């Protein structure tokens, strides 16, 4: 596979928001280290899109919405197992905004996800029921974009789910490891790498 970005490629920047960076409500270790790397990559792509975690207050994925539950516990939801998180990326709050140094001006589209109160959304393509679409796939197909390069936060959750779903619905997917950081919750990073490899996601260190 040719790695050099072309006119039918998209750089998908996943959830580089204040709450996922140091000092945020759900900080990923060294999450802000991806910002200069992503900003450099943006200059190499003709097409760029962003995802933004965008939860209403009291979202069902928040541990605080389940009396007696603690963050990072897992519960059963109608759509399957759900990790419970600290309140994060609440609509309209500073934590939900993009990192202030992130280059966003060339983004052609922003996909907001997780705004439905009763279902979480890791993937840029589907809610966690794996059936409810965000609309990104249709946008990409109408634009004639065929290959997705992924960067952002976190490798083992929203980046992984986005990459696997991209492959599941027929797009080529390349994860740029230098532009990602992981949570690595109870082996989640190793599981993510295995799942992406099985789905046919290509993994490169940098471009």
Residues labelled catalytic: 15, 113, 158
Three-state DSSP class for residue 18: helix
The CA-atom distances, in angstroms, between 96 and each of 36, 55, 125, 176, 207 are 19, 9, 19, 23, 28
What is the C-alpha to C-alpha distance for residues 158 and 14, in angstroms, rounded to an integer? 7
The reply to whether omega before 154 is within 30° of 0 (cis) is yes
What is the C-alpha to C-alpha distance for residues 132 and 119, in angstroms, rounded to an integer? 10
Q: In this structure, are residues 188 and 157 in contact, taking their beta carbons and an 8 Å threshold?
A: yes
């Amino acid at each position: 596979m040719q790695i050099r970005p072309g006119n039918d490629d998209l750089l998908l920047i996943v959830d580089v928001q204040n709450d996922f960076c140091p000092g945020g409500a759900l900080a990923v270790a060294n999450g802000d280290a991806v910002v200069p790397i992503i900003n450099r990559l943006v200059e190499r792509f003709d097409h760029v899109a962003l995802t933004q975690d965008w939860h209403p207050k009291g979202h069902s994925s928040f541990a605080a919405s389940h009396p007696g539950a603690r963050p990072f516990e897992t519960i059963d939801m109608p759509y399957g197992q759900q990790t419970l998180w600290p309140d994060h990326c609440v609509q309209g709050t500073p934590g939900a905004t993009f990192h202030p140094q992130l280059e966003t001006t060339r983004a052609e589209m922003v996909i907001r996800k997780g705004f439905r109160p009763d279902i979480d959304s890791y993937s840029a393509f589907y809610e966690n029921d794996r059936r409810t679409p965000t609309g990104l796939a249709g946008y990409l197909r109408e634009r004639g974009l065929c290959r997705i390069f992924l960067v952002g936060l976190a490798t083992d959750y929203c980046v992984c789910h986005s990459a696997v779903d991209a492959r599941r619905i027929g797009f080529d997917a390349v994860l740029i490891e230098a532009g990602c950081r992981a949570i690595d919750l109870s082996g989640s990073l190793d599981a993510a790498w295995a799942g992406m490899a099985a789905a046919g996601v290509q993994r490169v260190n940098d471009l």
